[in-house]
Amino acid sequence: MRVERTRLDGLLVLVPEVHADERGFFSRTFDDRTAAEAGIDPRSFVQDSQSRSRQGVVRGLHGRGGTGEAKLVRCARGAVLDVVVDARPGSPTFGHWVSHRLDDVEMRHLFIPAGFLHGHQTLTAEADVCYRIDAEHAPEDDLAVHHLDPELAVVWPEPITVVSERDRAAGSWAHLVSRLGG
């Protein structure tokens, strides 16, 4: 497994080796030594979660206030466009976003440190996204920005088919910035 840096400081792409043959494939989905060498404490993860979504579904943009939460995200089945927004006041890339295709072919993972918003759109008929999270869920610290916020201008590649009521009601980037003091 190798680690690639991104233009958002702290956001990492972990690229595993996928060994394919006539049976299918084998891939290590986590390696604590590689994680530690990249600055990720492999013992910090306290929850594993999984979502399944249909094509066009958008989940996010979500984050966590307070001390935040770090996530290790991968797509175990299908493909998603994963979007990460820097919501760390004082960061030189505050308000910038990047996207990465995560799929069940290349098996890339994103390490998303605390202080970022995260969301994804399903690109295939169905997709399963797996999350390793370093903090227990604390609903009172939930942050959300509307997925179509004009100031962020995230480009979703597919027509958006379904969004949760919570995500439809999410506030603006400007509102979050004022809340964060950024």
Give catalytic residue positions.
Answer: 62, 131
Which of the 8 DSSP states describes residue 145? B
Q: How many residues are there in the chain?
A: 182
With residues binned 3-state (H G I as helix, E B as strand, rest as coil), the percentages for the chain, rounded to 5, are: 15, 40, 45
Give the other-Cβ count within 10 Å of 103's Cβ.
20
Q: Count of alpha carbons within 13 Å of 131, Cβ hemisphere only?
A: 20
What residue type is assigned to position 163 of the chain? Answer: V
